[in-house]
C-alpha cells in the first residue's frame, strides 16, 4: 500500500514535467507577450521591454527558460535558484512583487488559508460536489427503484439538461432568473463572507456533476437490483429497507465513490468560466486573467497546480476503490 | 410424519413485453416433515420460479403468482404463505424456510464479510446480539466443514473457492434451523467432485438436523442417493411424481424415460447407448393446446395433440400425466427427427 502510494507519487513528476512542457510550447507559440500594451494603457518603450526581458530571463534561449522555470537556473549573483520542482512557481509578471504561489495560496492579512484564491476555489468545488452528491445519489436511487415510472422520467429530463447544457449557459439563465428577476441573490456580490452569494455558482458548477452522479447511481443500482445476492438477502427475510441500504447501496455506490476524486478535481479546475462570470475571487478567474495578460509564470504555475490536483484525484480513485471494494488489492 | 408443505394449483406468470410467460402452470405437490423431495427437469421448465413463488421471491413486476395456495406448517400454525402479510412472510423467509441458490459465486454479497452475512439472519430472526451471532456463525462454518472457521469470519466471498462459498451458503441457510431447506441447483455451478461433497454434506446435515429438503436439479444422477421422492417438471407442469426407486425402476412418462435414457449407467450394455431427447421445449409464451411434450414425444397418439393430460395416479404414490400407459418397453409410435442445427 505505502509502496503503491510512493510509486504513484513519484510517477507524478514525469507527468507534471510533460504537462509543463506542453503548456510551455503552446504558451510561447501564442502571439504576444507579457509586456504587450493596448492603446489605452501606458506605453512600455522598447528599452524598458529589453531590460524587463533581461531581468526576468526572457532574453535567454527558450530551452533555457523552460529548464530555469521547471528545475532552476543560476542567477546573476551566481547562486542557484530552484524552480517549480522546489515549489517555486516564479514571480508574476503582471502583479509586480508577488510570486505565483503567493498569489494563489496567500490569504489576505489575518485570514486563514481558505480565504486564499486556492482556498476559495476548493471551497466552491467542495460545496458544488456536496450539492451534486446530496441531490444526485438519492435521485439516482429513486429513479432505479421506481424504474420507468414518472419519477424516473423526471430524473431523466433533469439529468439530460444537466449533462447537455453547458455551465455558462446555465449560469446566464440562473443569473437572469434568480438575480435579475427574483432579486434573491446579488448579481455581483460585494462580499463572499455570507452564504447567499455562493449558492448560484455552486449550483451551476455542480449541476453537471449532479446529473452525472444521478445517472451513474441509477445505472449501477439497476445493475445491482437484479444481482443474485439481492435475492439472497430477501430470502433471508430482511426488510426491504435493509436490503436496499445494506446490500444494494454499498455495491451500487462503488462506481460513484470512484468518481469523487476526479469530480472534485474537475469542479475545482473546471470552474474558471463560472468564477469569471460570477466575479468569484478564486484561482480560476486569476488563471483566465493571466492567460489574457500572457503572464507566463502565472500560466505555468496555475496549470501545474491544476495538473497536480488531477493527478492527486486519480490516485485517490485507486485508494478509495480498494477501500470500498474488498476485491481490489493494491500492490 | 406429518404434512409440512402442501402446494395447490400454483400458477406463476411473467407479464413481459413479448407476452405472458406461463412459467408455472397449476402444480400440486406436498412434502412431509424431514422428507427430501427432488424437482427435476431441463433448463427453463419453471423449477426455480416454482419454488421462489412459495416464498414470494418472484420479481414483481413482471412476475406474479396468479393462482394457488401454499400451505406451510404443522398443526395450528399451518398457513397459506401466499396470503400472509409482507411482515409475516419475512418471518418465514430465512427462518422457517431457507433457500440456497445455484451460483455461489454471485449469491453472496461481494462487499460484505461472510461473518456479517451469516450473522445477519441470526440477529434478525433469533434476536442474537453481535457477539453471540458471531460465535454461532463460527459454529455453523465448522458444521459445514470450513477449516479455521474463526479466522475466516472477516473474509470476503472472493477469498473463498466455489465449493467453499456454497458451504457458506448452506451455513447461512441452516443458521436459523429451518424446517424446510430449498436448494435450487446448489451443485450445478461446481465441478463434479465438489458436487458430490456438497451433496454428502447436505445429506449429513439433514440427518443431524432433520429438516425437510426440496432439492432442485436438472441432473437425475445426483438425485438418486439423496431424495425420497422425485417430481419431474416439464414446461411449467408436473408430468410425473414418484418415490425415487419407483421412478428409476419404472418411469412412466415419456419425458422421464427420455431423461433416464440420457443418463450414463455403469451396468449399461454396449447396445444400450446413451440417448438424448430430440427437439426443444415449447415456448412458454405460446403453449400448445395439447400435451406440452407432444412435439418431442416418441409415444404420442392423436389425442395428445389436442388434450393436455392431467396428473393421475398409476400406482400407489406414483402419478403420471400421460394419455397412454407407457413403460420403457413400449414401442415408439413415431420417430422424432433430430432438430436441425441452425448455423
Ligand atoms: N423475470 C422474468 N421475466 C420473464 N420471464 C422469466 C423471468 N424469470 C423466469 N422467467 C421464465 O420462466 C421460465 C422458468 O424459469 P426458471 O428459472 O424457473 O427455470 P428453471 O427450471 O429454474 O431453469 P434452470 O434449470 O435453467 O434454472 C423460463 O422460461 C424463464 O424464461
Ligand atoms: Mg433455476
Per-residue pLDDT of A125-143, as tens digits, reads: 999 999 999 999 999 999 9
Residue A196 within a domain: yes
Decide if A117 touches B, using CB distance below 8 A: no
Distance A280 CA to ligand 2 centre (A): 60
What is residue A57's predicted lDDT score, i.e. its pLDDT? 82
Residue A127 within a domain: yes
- Give the confidence band of A314 by pLDDT, cuts at 50, 70, 90: confident
- Give the confidence band of B334 by pLDDT, cuts at 50, 70, 90: confident
What SS3 state is found at B259? helix
Residue A177 within a domain: yes
Q: How far apart are CA B230 and CA B248, in angstroms?
A: 10
Does A44 score more than 80 pLDDT? no
Ligand 1 nearest-atom number relative to CA B233: 21
Report residue B142: phi and psi, to 5°. Answer: -65, -40
**Average per-residue pLDDT in chain B?**
88
Q: Which of B10, B46, B102 has most ligand 1 atoms within 8 Å of CB, for mutation?
A: B46
C-alpha cell, A235: 430470502
Residues 6+ apart with CB under 8 A from A285: A272, A275, A276, A279
Decide if A146 touches B, using CB distance below 8 A: no
- Give the confidence band of A72 by pLDDT, cuts at 50, 70, 90: confident
Does B172 score more than 60 pLDDT? yes
What is residue B340's predicted lDDT score, i.e. its pLDDT? 54
Residues 6+ apart with CB under 8 A from A139: A155, A158, A159, A210, A214, A217, A218
Is the CB of A238 less than 8 angstroms away from the CB of B124? yes
CB neighbours (10 Å) of residue B295? 18
Looking at chain B, which residue has its C-alpha nearest residue A227? B106
What is residue A75's predicted lDDT score, i.e. its pLDDT? 79
Contact criterion met (CB below 8 Å) for B230 and B187 = no
Please list every protein residue whose CB sits less than 6 Å from any atom of ligand 1: B 14, 16, 21, 23, 41, 43-49, 59, 62-63, 185, 218, 284
Residue A105 within a domain: no
Q: Which of B17, B104, B105, B107 to mutate to test the interface with A (most CBs of A within 10 A)?
A: B107
Residue A15 within a domain: no
- pTM confidence score: 0.80
Contact criterion met (CB below 8 Å) for B30 and B221 = no
Residue B42: CA count within 13 A, CB half-sphere: 16
Apex A118 CA angle, A93 and A322, nearest 5: 130
Does B343 score more than 50 pLDDT? no
Residue A103 within a domain: no
pLDDT, tens only, A147-188: 888 888 998 998 899 889 988 898 899 889 988 898 888 777
What SS3 state is found at B31? strand
The mean per-residue pLDDT over the stretch A267-292 comes to 87
Report in angstroms the alpha-carbon separations of B251 from B230, B232, B244: 11, 11, 10
What is residue A42's predicted lDDT score, i.e. its pLDDT? 61
Residue A157 within a domain: yes
Report CA torsion sign: A210, A215, A220, A225: positive
Q: How far apart are CA B318 and CA B242, in angstroms?
A: 4
Nearest to A133 by CA among A141, A122, A123: A141
For position A242, which CATH number holds? 1.10.3720.10
What is residue A271's predicted lDDT score, i.e. its pLDDT? 83
Across A96-100, A186-190, B273-277, the highest mean pLDDT is recorded for A96-100
Does B341 score more than 70 pLDDT? no
Distance A264 CA to ligand 2 centre (A): 45
C-alpha cell, B129: 446480539
Task: Using an 8 Å CB-CB cutoff, list chain B residues near A233.
Answer: 109
Domain of A219, in residue numbers? 114-324
Does B273 score more than 70 pLDDT? no
Report in angstroms the alpha-carbon separations of A167 from A40, A108, A269, A291: 33, 29, 14, 21
Decide if A96 touches B, using CB distance below 8 A: no
Contact criterion met (CB below 8 Å) for A274 and A200 = no
- Give the confidence band of A323 by pLDDT, cuts at 50, 70, 90: confident
pLDDT, tens only, B296-312: 888 888 888 899 999 99
Decide if A149 touches B, using CB distance below 8 A: no
pLDDT, tens only, A182-210: 888 877 778 888 888 888 899 999 999 99
Is the CB of B94 less than 8 angstroms away from the CB of A236? yes
Q: How many structural domains does chain A have? A: 1
Is the CB of B110 less than 8 angstroms away from the CB of A326? yes
What is residue B299's predicted lDDT score, i.e. its pLDDT? 87
Nearest to B182 by CA among B87, B69, B55: B55
Amino acid at each position: 500500500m505505502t509502496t503503491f502510494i510512493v510509486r504513484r507519487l513519484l510517477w507524478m513528476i514525469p507527468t507534471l514535467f510533460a504537462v509543463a512542457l506542453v503548456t510551455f510550447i503552446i504558451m510561447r507559440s501564442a502571439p504576444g507577450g507579457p509586456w504587450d500594451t493596448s492603446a489605452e494603457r501606458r506605453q512600455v518603450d522598447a528599452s524598458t521591454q529589453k531590460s524587463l526581458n533581461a531581468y526576468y530571463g526572457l532574453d535567454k534561449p527558450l530551452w533555457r527558460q523552460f529548464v530555469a522555470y521547471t528545475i532552476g537556473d543560476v542567477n546573476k549573483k551566481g547562486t542557484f535558484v530552484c524552480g517549480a520542482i522546489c515549489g517555486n512557481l516564479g514571480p508574476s509578471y503582471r502583479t509586480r512583487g508577488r510570486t505565483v504561489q503567493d498569489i494563489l495560496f496567500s490569504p489576505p492579512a489575518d485570514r486563514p488559508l481558505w480565504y486564499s484564491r486556492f482556498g476559495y476555489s476548493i471551497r466552491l468545488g467542495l460545496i458544488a460536489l456536496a450539492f451534486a452528491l446530496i441531490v444526485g445519489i438519492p435521485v439516482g436511487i429513486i429513479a432505479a427503484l421506481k424504474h420507468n415510472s414518472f419519477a424516473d422520467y423526471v430524473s431523466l429530463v433533469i439529468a439530460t439538461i444537466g449533462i447537455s447544457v453547458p455551465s455558462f449557459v446555465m449560469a446566464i439563465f440562473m443569473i437572469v432568473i434568480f438575480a435579475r428577476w427574483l432579486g434573491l441573490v446579488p448579481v455581483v456580490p460585494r462580499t463572499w463572507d455570507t452564504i447567499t452569494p455562493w449558492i448560484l455558482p455552486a449550483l451551476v458548477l455542480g449541476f453537471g456533476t449532479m446529473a452525472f452522479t444521478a445517472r451513474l447511481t441509477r445505472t449501477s443500482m439497476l445493475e445491482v437490483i437484479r444481482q443474485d445476492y439481492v435475492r439472497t438477502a430477501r430470502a433471508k427475510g430482511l426488510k426491504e429497507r435493509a436490503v436496499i441500504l445494506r446490500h444494494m447501496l454499498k455495491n451500487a455506490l462503488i462506481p460513484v465513490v470512484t468518481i469523487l476524486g476526479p469530480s472534485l478535481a474537475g469542479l475545482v479546475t473546471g470552474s474558471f468560466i463560472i468564477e469569471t462570470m460570477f466575479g468569484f475571487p478564486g484561482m480560476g478567474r486569476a488563471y483566465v486573467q493571466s492567460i489574457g495578460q500572457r503572464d507566463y509564470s502565472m500560466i505555468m504555475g496555475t496549470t501545474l497546480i491544476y495538473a497536480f490536483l488531477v493527478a492527486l484525484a486519480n490516485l485517490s480513485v485507486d485508494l478509495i476503490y480498494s477501500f470500498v471494494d474488498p476485491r481490489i488489492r493494491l500492490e | 410424519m406429518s404434512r409440512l408443505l402442501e402446494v395447490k394449483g400454483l400458477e406463476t406468470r411473467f407479464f413481459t413485453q413479448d407476452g405472458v410467460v406461463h412459467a408455472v402452470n397449476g402444480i400440486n405437490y406436498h412434502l412431509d416433515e424431514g422428507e427430501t423431495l427432488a424437482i427435476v427437469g431441463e433448463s427453463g421448465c419453471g423449477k426455480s420460479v416454482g419454488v421462489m413463488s412459495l416464498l414470494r421471491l418472484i420479481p414483481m413486476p413482471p412476475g406474479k403468482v396468479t393462482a394457488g395456495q401454499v400451505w406451510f406448517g404443522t398443526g395450528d400454525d399451518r398457513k397459506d404463505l401466499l396470503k400472509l402479510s409482507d411482515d409475516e412472510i419475512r418471518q418465514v423467509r430465512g427462518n422457517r424456510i431457507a433457500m440456497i441458490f445455484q451460483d455461489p459465486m454471485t449469491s453472496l454479497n461481494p462487499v460484505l464479510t461472510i461473518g456479517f452475512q451469516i450473522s445477519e439472519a441470526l440477529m434478525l430472526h433469533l434476536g442474537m446480539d453481535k457477539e453471540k451471532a458471531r460465535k454461532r456463525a463460527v459454529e455453523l462454518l465448522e458444521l459445514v466443514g470450513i477449516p479455521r472457521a474463526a479466522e475466516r469470519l472477516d473474509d470476503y466471498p472472493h477469498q473463498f473457492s466455489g465449493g467453499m462459498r456454497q458451504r457458506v451458503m448452506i451455513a447461512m441457510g441452516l443458521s436459523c434451523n429451518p424446517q424446510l431447506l430449498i436448494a435450487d441447483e446448489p451443485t450445478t455451478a461446481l465441478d463434479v467432485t465438489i458436487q458430490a461433497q456438497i451433496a454428502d454434506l447436505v445429506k449429513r446435515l439433514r440427518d443431524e438436523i432433520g429438516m425437510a429438503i426440496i432439492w432442485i436439479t436438472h441432473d437425475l444422477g445426483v438425485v438418486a442417493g439423496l431424495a425420497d421422492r422425485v417430481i419431474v417438471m416439464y414446461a411449467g407442469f408436473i408430468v410425473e411424481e414418484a418415490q425415487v426407486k419407483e421412478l428409476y425402476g419404472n418411469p412412466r412418462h415419456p419425458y422421464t424415460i427420455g431423461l433416464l435414457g440420457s443418463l450414463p449407467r455403469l451396468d449399461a450394455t454396449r447396445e444400450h447407448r446413451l440417448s438424448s431427447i430430440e427437439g426443444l421445449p415449447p415456448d412458454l409464451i405460446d403453449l400448445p393446446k395439447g400435451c406440452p411434450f407432444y412435439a418431442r414425444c416418441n409415444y404420442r397418439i392423436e389425442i395428445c395433440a389436442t388434450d393436455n393430460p392431467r396428473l393421475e395416479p398409476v400406482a400407489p404414490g406414483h402419478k403420471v400425466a400421460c394419455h397412454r400407459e407407457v413403460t420403457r418397453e413400449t414401442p415408439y409410435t413415431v420417430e422424432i427427427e433430430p432438430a436441425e442445427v441452425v448455423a
